[in-house]
Amino acid sequence: MSTEIRDEELDERTRERRSYLALAFAAILVAALIWVVKAMRENNRIVECMTSGHHNCVPLDTSVRGAPR
């Protein structure tokens, strides 16, 4: 009887850990998909800007960083 309770507790802990891992994996997957969609939208915006004939589609960083003194 005592070993059955221990086995059930271990099984429950194992299922709980797997559920948390699955939740974490799903959250990481959703975050990665959001990042990919944002990157694709930005690239599409740049392509649309360029195909319409504009020249200043991508802002350039003109700050001077790491320049020799």
Largest CA distance in the chain: 79
How far is Cα 30 from Cα 24, in angstroms, rounded to an integer? Answer: 10
Band of the pLDDT at 55, cuts 50, 70, 90? confident
Average pLDDT of the chain, as a whole number: 87
pLDDT tens across 16-41, in order?
999 999 999 999 999 999 999 999 99
Top pLDDT among 62 and 24 is at 24
pLDDT higher for 3 or 34?
A: 34
d(CA 46, CA 40): 10
For 67, phi then psi, to 5°, come to -75, 145
pTM for the full model? 0.65
What token pair was written down for 22?
């699955």
- Residue 57 and residue 46 in contact, taking contact as beta carbons nearer than 8 Å: yes
How large is the average pLDDT for residues 37-62?
A: 91
